[in-house]
Structure 1
Amino acid sequence: MARIRSIKPEFWSSEQVMECSPMARLLFIGLWNFCDDGGNHVASAKTVKAEIFPGDDISSSDVQRMLDELSSNSLIAFYANGDKQYLHVTGWRKHQKIDRPTYKHPPFSDDARRGLDEASPPEGKGEEGRGEEGNGEDLSSLRSDSSAPSALTLGGGTDAQVQVLDPKQRKTARIQQIAQDAQTAYNAIMAKPEGLLPACTVLNKPRVKAVEKALPTVRQLCVRLFGSEKVTPQFWQLYFETAAEDDFHAGRQPGGPGHENWKPDFEYLLRESVIAKLADRALSEAA
């Protein structure tokens, strides 16, 4: 039975929520109406599609992708009870105030959590995931290998962890991770010995700032390519592979008169104008 649920104003500015595509956000809100009073629902894409998008041209596979997107951002968690699969809206108890709750589905617990792939971080991070909406503590990570409820895993999948205490630190850590992903892809594809360009060996403040300045354009491209603003290592791999196919941006074609020895570098390839130009060319050719 569908229920009336509440949406807090903080929902819209939650970093976890903003990482999701608009349709996944709508699906997330719709789930609240059909979850039982424990925040649980059957993990059936067909059922969810029938309940939330009954008159829309959206397939069950589309719904499943959106559910996986919510899971990857720790907004829901999948779990099993017997041979049946369920989903749980993380942070439900703090988000929904229910006077006389009734339960339709088996309760969620970490012991019942279904084995998830690496794209689904553990429950308990962030404004929605940690069960304390509205307190500003959104600890979701851009990477899929986060492993601690109160920490962001940095360093490209190493065990190094940094406690995140406030929004400014969270933002800094997220941008640092995006920059590390860009550095890794650039060095693997564009830099010597694989390519012809100088390696990015030091990820200093100017280089991290260059990544940050490029994010508006990068996020638009991620929506176009993947249906989500989330900036993943896959984007940087695709971008630098595109740059490597271009003679000038790969360093195979010299610059103009007086700049014959000039070659692009990490910062140059992170200019929004360069990213947009290469993306326009690649997408036009693909079309």
Structure 2
Amino acid sequence: MARIRTVKPEFWSSEQVMECSPMARLLFIGLWNFCDDAGNHVASAKTVKAEIFPGDDISSSDVQRMLDELSSNSLIAFYTNGDKDYLHVTGWEKHQKIDRPTYKHPEFSVGGRRGLVESSPPEGNGREGNGEEGKELSSLRSDSSLQLALTSDQAPAARVPKAERIHQIAVDAQAAYNAVLARPHGLLPACTVLNKPRIKAVEKALPTVRQLCLRLFGSEKVTPQFWVLYFETAADDDFHAGRQPGGAGHENWKPDFEYLLREGVIAKLADRALSEVAA
């Protein structure tokens, strides 16, 4: 049954919401009306289309693309319960205040997520969950990394400008890369200058990185801990650590900081590492 929901003014200035197309934003708000009081809904494009766009010339495949767009921008997360797929509006408690909730769909949990999924807007309202501290992690393959839980008793952090947040994430990535992979500890060239192209490379990698942080820590906040895990994972691979030369004509080429920040490289190393954990 549909519910009356509220849209807060800060929704429109959320940077992750602004990354979405106008139709995807409308779909996102529409989902709130049809999610249960825990923010869950069946992950069926046909059902969503019938509920939100019943009289519009919009196909189920169009709706699925919009759902994927919301997922890639950390606004919903897909999960599976039994043999059925669901979606969860991440950060639901930030969007809605419900006095007497009733639940229709299975509970969303970290272990039930499907693939690499995202959390709610970290840059829209300045409030993010943090991973449980005190865990010793060595790479994305670490079983303990998958057991970190989202904590909810943290006070809201002060809003920091986007450029400053991205710069700090880049500083954390640079420090982890140099400590794990760069000479003299490793074999790769050090990242000594954090210039605009390198900061931009970090920014471009953030959608994938946020997905991984949510999968590993239960929050899409990008922490220094993530970069240590990621570069430790790269260090386990002969090619990405610089121990194995490139192909013909590239024998002297080695990966560097910017190469390892490519979204395709991050996704490939993560897929391999997390597949080994699940095996």
Q: TM-score, normalised by structure 1?
A: 0.48
Larger radius of gyration: 1
